[in-house]
A and B are shown apart, each in its own frame.
Chain A
Amino acid sequence: MTVAKATKNVISKQSSGFDLHVYRIFTVVLNCQILNFAEKSLFTTVSISIFTGSKRIMVQVYLKFRDKLAEMIGGEMHNLCYQCGACVGDCPAARYSDDYNPRLIMLKTLLGLEDDLICENSIIWKCTNCFNCYERCPQKVKPIEVIIALKNMIGLRHLEPSSVDEILQSVRQSGRTVLVNETVIRRREELNLPPLKDLPVKELEILIHAEEDKE
Chain B
Amino acid sequence: MPETKKAAPFFGCMIQAKYPQFESAVRFSFDKLGYKLVDLDGFTCCPDPIYFQAFDKLSWLSVAARNIAIAEEAGLDLITACSGCTSSLSETNHLLKNDENLRERVNARLAKIGKKFKGTIRVRHIATVLRDDIGYEKIAASVIRPLTSMNVAFHYGCHLLKPVEIMNVDDPQHPEILEQLVKAIGANPISHRQRILCCGKGCLDDDLPPKMMFDILTSVENESPDCLCLICPTCFDQYDMGQIRMKKIFDRKFEIPVVYYFQLLALAQGADSKTIGLQWHRTKTKEFMEKVAALSG
Contact = CB atoms under 8 A, between A and B. Distances in A.
Interface of A: 72-74, 92-93, 96-97, 125-132, 134-135, 142, 148-149, 151-152, 155, 160-161, 163-168, 171, 175-181, 184, 187-188, 190-194, 196-197, 199-201, 203-204, 206-208, 210, 213-214
Main secondary structure of the interface of B (DSSP, over half): helix
Given A73-B58, A178-B18, A167 B51 contact: yes
Given A199-B42, A210-B108, A213-B58, 17 more contacts: A73-B58, A92-B197, A97-B207, A129-B49, A175-B44, A176-B17, A177-B13, A177-B47, A191-B275, A191-B277, A199-B44, A200-B44, A203-B113, A204-B66, A206-B113, A207-B109, A208-B56
Nearest to B54: A151
Contact of A126 (B21, B109, B208): B208
B109 A206 contact: yes
Nearest to B161: A131
Contacts of B45: 171, 175-177
Contacts of A165: 55
Instruction: State which size class the interface on B falls in.
Output: 35 or more
Contacts of B250: none
Contacts of A187: 20-21, 277, 280
B2 interface: no
Contacts of A135: 162-164, 172
Contacts of A208: 56, 59, 62-63
Interface centre among B49, B198, B277 (most CB of A within 10 A): B198
A96 B215 CA distance: 11
A130 B198 contact: yes
Given A135-B163, A177-B48, A208-B62, A128 B109 contact: no
A97 B162 contact: no
B24 interface: yes
B39 interface: yes
A142 B202 CA distance: 17
Given A96-B211, A207-B63, A130 B162 contact: yes
Given A96-B208, A191-B20, A207-B62, A213 B108 contact: yes
Contact of B212 (A73, A92, A192, A194): A92
A161 B204 contact: yes
A41 to B, nearest CB: 21
Contacts of A155: 54-56
Interface in B8-47: 13-14, 16-18, 20-21, 23-24, 27, 39, 41-45, 47
Contacts of B14: 177-178
A128 B112 contact: no
A192 B25 CA distance: 11
Contact of B109 (A125, A197, A210): A210
B18 A184 contact: yes
Given A190-B274, A207-B62, A213-B108, A128 B208 contact: yes
A191 B27 CA distance: 11
A153 B39 CA distance: 37
B106 to A, nearest CB: 9
Contacts of B66: 203-204, 207
B200 A148 contact: no
Given A134-B163, A176-B13, A176-B44, A210 B204 contact: no
B233 to A, nearest CB: 10
A93 B208 contact: yes
Contacts of A134: 162-163
A151 to B, nearest CB: 4
B57 A73 contact: yes
Contacts of B50: 129
A73 B280 contact: no
B150 interface: no
A157 B60 CA distance: 18
